[in-house]
Structure 1
């Protein structure tokens, strides 16, 4: 049985980050809403997350700590304040919001949580309340200049609270704090590795699927490729993969992706449905309308192809952990899972059961599992690409000519990044065809042609993103190449907006 750390979510923006840090220690963990969790024998400890609410507010998130039994507990920020309040201590509004860097003035390193933590160590605060009075049997173990209680322990119990955030990089020794709790206090084994994940997942898939047939839609991206390889290892030729060309892929991607999958031994059928998508999209310029048409037609094409395979019982999907977390809010299920990750209508329409072998993994973990499966780097290192493809990078109605222009522009940009060693420094890149024409001069002639915008961002998970400071010389070369080689474009601009407030895609 795999050791597990339970992270109870009170709505903090950093909760996923706590999980990532724990998993970096090769310890398995799961995030659950504070109001809906189960303590099973494999749970070695519990982390209570921070949250946007105040423990002083009426109706603020609350839970019965008795449910945690004698397990080790680490309360972070809101979690720490909740433990204090429920045990008779005092939490009060701060005179000023404590947000940003602080330094630990006192550190009692005799306590396991703070072993190897140095006096003066930088921590990150983000709270409007502060603990002013500890309950009986609560021992003060750390303070900062302005915060009397930065960390505490309950006497005789493996229960700790900290008012700073160890999961963020601004807390310079935060990983040590989490290691101390997870490994030394909880005693969780550090044996959750990509190789172990592959071994356990393939064994579980064999049991779950038996001799059943599975159909899976490949996109050429990381998630669907790794999911396919895991299922393939379990059931071999009983996995049927379908790769649909919706006419909105990158240039030459359909042929290239099919060839790469051949080398992996996957059973893949390519379906050229370009004209069908173009016909359905004719005249549609509203972004949401385009997304819905692309999603609907994909379901129709996929369903038709899947029905040609006899006795299929399962639909394979490359759902990853952030998609699952985002579909469950602190207070219960939210309305939808991201539509570009999961084609929600398929399982119901096809009367299939769903198998999602990656639904406990973060994106970087998916890539590590892919390396363990020996999937080529050119697939694993591929930038994220939106489900609707170039359909939401053409900021108007879609025509084959507009797709041709954008594919050519995109190919020059992406190939340029690869040729000049910049591709791996960028999280996601692409080009947008704007609904704007501008005056230009080519030779002795005036032109009135299209404007394209190039976009390159750096990000860890897509939740936030910064525009990448690509070298001016590189942008100059790419701009010249696009204007000289792509008929229909006479102006190139570079998007220098970050997320937030802008999004990564323009539609």
Structure 2
């Protein structure tokens, strides 16, 4: 991918929850970038040869002895450097400035007064001119109280005398506020000034170029070998399969293991798209009875996930063996999976839930991985899917968990409960589409609760199950806000579910954000 990523930026991660947002904003401007932990081998940074380096925020305090340090090579390469929040503080502390804790902390919306001109602010329409007062988003307790030699202040706020700083000669810049969040209205434009005007990137990284580069890379990696790909019905595996098929054609065989935990009619849709429309060699194994038998009586969510994941590998291996084996296994691993597999401290991330792609294969499978999407975020995968000609109805699908509906039924599952949930979920999604709401939502689904409630239908009393509806907005699934439906819409959906799905007599709406909750219930 050298011809596409020659103009690339490196982001060093100090643990901010917003680091991925920095990368997304940079890529949205047509500049390729990657996120590496701050303690990466300095030689790797030199070998990567970026046009510029961005230092993320982070939860640590520069005033602590164990505070993460910026690799010295960052300041020795002659490259532009932009420090954001902790990144600014660490840069100042290491270059001879002073950072102190302060009673006047800033969290949330704040305002910066532009006190001098700066290359970061040049040409931004309707703001960031000298003397302007601009809204930003702050999240800091410490602050810079003395600048290093060579720096000058270009912006100040109530809680930070050096809210924006510049060393024009070395092209080192720092901001105390977060450019990457939407609450800093012109943050993306400031980032673009850094990547394009200061670092000199052309901004010519496109998904069409990525597609062709990956096709070339797949052909070079696979050669004349055979590849098998596990289809799940989700967007990631679908795009991976379509991309690999375009690269190597009949050398690819897809295996679709139907575990009986998919949404209504989803298995039929997968077969129709890949076997009938794209003419991809597809093995469809209906293993629903095997999975449901293994899950009988299992109520612990982590055991559910591990049971499904382990059995999926067993069935997949069995079908692969029938094909006479293969040299490569394709996976729809995405860039957030890669980032989250190693924390910014270089150690293992906290396990929120299992059954992720990253981590590789059982050694006994003796296949090499093909992961053509591992450099992309979810929204970029959707754009690639459209480039490949996949139907918008498939590409635009909301994320769906690997363990399927098993983790949308808290407690033990059964075929009867799965049927109830499928029908309720289908009604919810149908109403979203009928009301042009589906594409405005990151993820929406129904959850069948292990709770029975009293109801009245006609002249009779019911004692049936309750279900919850969940709908959130998000950019990448890392954080999420509840979607603010009109009450009339929720009432219509609840009315349809209760009337059309016998066995459910009560519907609730989950209004928990992430954090503190997760998007899925289990």
TM value normalised by structure 1? 0.96
For residue 420 of structure 1, report the CA deviation from its aligned partner.
2.3
Taking the aligned partners of 2:71 and 2:394, their CA distance within structure 1 comes to: 46
More divergent stretch after superposition (319-328 vs 482-491): 482-491
- In structure 1, what is the equivalent of residue 335 of structure 2? 321
Instruction: Indicate whether 1:434 and 2:449 are aligned.
Output: yes
Q: Work out whether residues 104 and 142 of structure 1, in 8 Å CA contact, stay in contact via their aligned partners in 2.
A: yes
**How far off its partner does 1:418 sit?**
1.6
Aligned to 1:282: 296
Number of corresponding residues: 506
The alignment partner of 2:162 has SS state of: coil
Change (3 A) 1:257 1:361: same
1:441-490 Cα shifts (integer Å, max 9, x gaps): 22332222211222222222112222222232222222222222222222
**Could you tell me whether the CA contact under 8 Å between 1:107 and 1:114 is conserved in 2?**
no
Match of 2:18 in 1: 14
* Structure 1 residues not aligned, in runs of 5+: none
Quick one: which of 122, 129, 134 aligns to 1:121?
Answer: 134
- What residue number does 1:263 align with? 277
Distance 2:168 2:399 in 1: 48
Partner of 1:44: 51
The offset of 1:237, in angstroms, is 0.9
Aligned residue number for residue 9 of structure 2: 5
> Following the alignment from structure 2 to structure 1, what is the Cα–Cα distance between the partners of residues 207 and 168?
38
What corresponds to 1:98 in structure 2? 106
Contact 1:218 1:224 in 2 (8 A): yes
The Cα shift of 1:264 comes to 2.4
Distance 1:79 1:412 in 2: 47
Task: Look up the match of 1:139.
Answer: 152
Deviation at 1:371, TM superposition (A): 1.4
Which one of 84, 87, 91 corresponds to residue 83 of structure 1?
91
Shift of 1:325: 0.6
Distance in 2, matches of 1:409 and 1:130, equals 52
- 1:262-281, Cα deviation, whole Å (9 max, x unpaired): 21232221110011011111
Match of 2:72 among 31, 46, 65: 65
Say whether the 8 Å CA contact 2:121–2:193 is kept in structure 1. Answer: yes
Misfit runs of 4+, over 4 Å: 335-338
Q: Choose 330-339 or 452-461, whichever is displaced more.
A: 330-339
Unaligned runs of 5+ in 2: none
Aligned to 2:196: 183
Does residue 1:166 correspond to 2:179, yes or no? Answer: yes
Q: 1:336 to 1:216 in 2, by over 3 A?
A: farther
Contact kept, 8 Å, 1:431 with 1:455, in 2: the verdict is yes
Q: Output the CA distance in 2 between the equivalents of 1:480 and 1:48.
A: 51
Change (3 A) 1:443 1:343: farther
Q: Equivalents in 1 of 2:446, 2:378: separation in Å?
A: 23
One of 235, 239, 261 as aligned partner of 1:222: 235
The question of whether the paired residues in 2 share the 8 Å contact of 1:327 and 1:336 is answered with no
SS at match of 1:93: strand
Q: 1:452 to 1:140 in 2, by over 3 A?
A: closer
SS in 2 for 1:492: strand
Alignment match, 2:35: 31
Alpha-carbon spacing, 1:446–1:267, altered in 2? closer, same or farther (3 Å): same
| 1:299–1:345 CA contact under 8 A, matched in 2 | no
In 1: Cα distance, 2:350 partner to 2:239 partner: 24
CA contact (8 A) 2:70 2:91 kept: no
Change (3 A) 1:481 1:369: same
Corresponding residue for 1:212? 225
How far apart are the structure 2 equivalents of 1:138 and 1:472? Answer: 54
Name the CA distance, whole Å, in 2 between partners of 1:335 and 1:105: 39
The answer on whether the counterparts of 2:137 and 2:181 sit within 8 Å (CA) in structure 1 is yes
Question: Aligned-pair RMSD on alpha carbons?
Answer: 1.8
The two structures have a TM-score, normalised by structure 2, of 0.93
Contact 1:143–1:151 at 8 Å: present in 2 too?
yes
Secondary structure, counterpart of 2:133 in structure 1? coil
